[in-house]
Structure 1
């Protein structure tokens, strides 16, 4: 494991759009791919999440200098050393709506105090490092798609869908860059913060 040194300055210190998230697994990737195919057959149209991009977002950081992201990774690594590994469970399909119009389809996660504890620990480091993030209740979910079109009786159709529970093992978090393109965002993991201690530089 590569231990990131706090005084190591990146050669390129431009700003990048970034976020902190938990990587998932192949089982969830397949589950989302199968679910999206069912939704398409029902008549839903959306900007669908690519299976390879599936993750559980903890914080959106916005545009930050690479040096600040590196420093944040180091500080989060210090804070999370010794944090317990755990499993969270994905077990239901949900949606956000506005005026009875579906906007976002997502997969909900069973209430988990360890997941909430992880969120709170990372939030403390973000605040100490004076990075502004949106305040609000932590509602962990995994986005399936942002709706562009939907069939009649869409709510009944969504309620008819079952999603078999999937377990995700967590022993680290990642800091990612997000590059917006005309088709979809491109994600690149910059740092992996391991609960056993240390930060892996990914790119």
Structure 2
């Protein structure tokens, strides 16, 4: 039986999407060893599920739709640019969350609880809402110019967006990078 690489996320839209693209443009010239996220793939990941069969995928979609309907829509502010594990040794570059952070964390936790009985365990690490902008290549930390630019953007104001749905995505890995396909949209109540 074929398996589908699957994750649950909130799509980046409106001003936040535009701001994320603007930051990528600002950082792009600082290093040539970053794989930047494609404009159509910018999102706030809530839970990465891995490879699922059709039955599991259908149940995840159903439970995500039911859970999302219990939450009211909200405004999410994008605030601050950072990196995991640190700005000095970046591996993943991200745009952080400001106002709306708590609502996104609550939504994520409820979805995690809803799918837990399907065998998806909660992350051991605390959920940190972020929108990935790019990943630094193996064997590199991007260099001092990238670190310098990241330090100047720690208070970056990325604007705000309305969160009115959650999306379950299939991710197909290709040589050019991942391609995402919507499996289900789950409107918030």
TM-score normalised by the chain length of structure 2? 0.86
Alpha-carbon distance in structure 2 between the residues aligned to 1:116 and 1:29: 20
User: 1:16–1:63: 8 Å Cα contact kept in structure 2?
Assistant: yes
SS in 2 for 1:185: strand
Aligned to 2:111: 122
Aligned to 1:141: 130
User: 2:27–2:146: 8 Å Cα contact kept in structure 1?
Assistant: no
Aligned to 2:47: 59
User: 1:46–1:146: 8 Å Cα contact kept in structure 2?
Assistant: yes
Larger Rg: 1
User: 1:174–1:192: 8 Å Cα contact kept in structure 2?
Assistant: yes
In the alignment, structure 1 segments of 5+ residues that lack a partner are 1-12, 197-203
- Number of residue pairs matched? 184
Aligned to 1:157: 149
**How does 1:76-87 map onto structure 2 within 5 Å?**
76-87=64-75
TM-score normalised by the chain length of structure 1? 0.81
The Cα shift of 1:100 comes to 4.5
User: 1:61–1:133: 8 Å Cα contact kept in structure 2?
Assistant: no
CA gap of 1:77–1:152, structure 2 versus 1, over 3 A, is closer
Cα offsets for 1:18-62 (capped at 9, x unmatched)? 000011214233222221222122335300011111000000000
2:20 equivalent to 1:28: no
Aligned to 2:5: 17
Cα offsets for 1:152-200 (capped at 9, x unmatched)? 354233212363332121121010001111221111111011123xxxx
CA gap of 1:172–1:123, structure 2 versus 1, over 3 A, is same
CA gap of 1:100–1:23, structure 2 versus 1, over 3 A, is closer
Alpha-carbon distance in structure 2 between the residues aligned to 1:125 and 1:14: 24
Provide the aligned C-alpha RMSD in A: 2.2
Aligned to 2:181: 188
The Cα shift of 1:133 comes to 5.3
CA gap of 1:104–1:75, structure 2 versus 1, over 3 A, is closer
